[in-house]
Amino acid sequence: MQNVTDRTSNPFGMQPPCESFVPGYGDANADFHVVGDHPGVHGGADEGVPFTGTPGAERLRRALTAAGLLDDDDGEPVDLFLSYLHACVPDGDPTERDYTEMEPFFDAELRAITAHVLLPVGERATRHVLETYTAIVADEVELADVHGEELHGSGWLVVPALDPDEWTDAEEAAYVDALRDLRETDYHREADLGRFLVGAEPYRVR
């Protein structure tokens, strides 16, 4: 199934409970989905686009461009969607209750995009993705040990990243190489249910 929309900003019209928010941005049929924390951490409050306006955000965008997931010329996503766990622009640090209130909006958008690969950035996003979309025990994972590594979830492939504000040059290069290598493989997370149907045609679903 494909989403039919030509909107790159907030393609599903999400309306979180706040006046100022940074909506999801990119290809509504993307295979790759970058997941960040909130605008106060990863930027975007000025431009309305996730991962813009801070040094760490620009470093991540540079890596995504090098991996072929952002266009070299205009920086637009290529088979990529970007969003935040907490899309509202916060006044200070969001509370746990704030994150809980925003979680249904994030989850609905993530499941609507139905990307094959989740790219959580930073500790909170990685922990949430592992706890919610994999059978991996997040408390047993050190983010530094799995930066740029492929982790298999329940229907998703997960490639976490340290917060780009903390990257060394070697960690940036390792992340770019991991994404490039992954894009050259068959990373699609699909099951063929054709065996349950009449005829020989495959029927692939997420």
CATH number of the domain to which 167 belongs: 3.40.470.10
The reply to whether 181 falls in a domain is yes
pTM: 0.89
Query: For residue 200, what pLDDT is reported?
Result: 52
Q: Which residues form the domain of 102?
A: 25-205
The reply to whether 124 falls in a domain is yes
Cα angle vertex 26, ends 166, 179, to 5°? 50
Q: Which residues contact 136 (CB under 8 A, 6 or more apart)?
A: 130, 151, 153
Query: For residue 154, what pLDDT is reported?
Result: 75
The reply to whether 18 falls in a domain is no
The reply to whether 59 falls in a domain is yes
The reply to whether 8 falls in a domain is no
Task: Please state the domain count of the chain.
Answer: 1
Q: Is 197 exposed, middle or buried (0-12, 13-18, 19+ CB in 10 A)?
A: exposed
Residue type, 59: R
The reply to whether 188 falls in a domain is yes
Q: Which residue has the tokens 């009449």?
A: 198
Q: How far apart, in whole angstroms, are the C-alpha atoms of residue 53 and residue 7?
A: 22
Helices (H), the chain: 39-42, 55-66, 96-113, 123-133, 143-146, 169-183
Q: Is 170 exposed, middle or buried (0-12, 13-18, 19+ CB in 10 A)?
A: exposed
Cα angle vertex 90, ends 84, 92, to 5°? 125
**Total count of residues recorded for the chain:** 206
Query: For residue 83, what pLDDT is reported?
Result: 98
Mean per-residue pLDDT pooled into runs of 10, the chain (206 residues): 73 94 96 97 96 97 98 95 97 95 96 95 97 92 96 89 97 98 82 42 45
The reply to whether 149 falls in a domain is yes
Q: For residue 202, what are the CA distances in angstroms to 119, 190, 192?
A: 29, 11, 6
The reply to whether 129 falls in a domain is yes
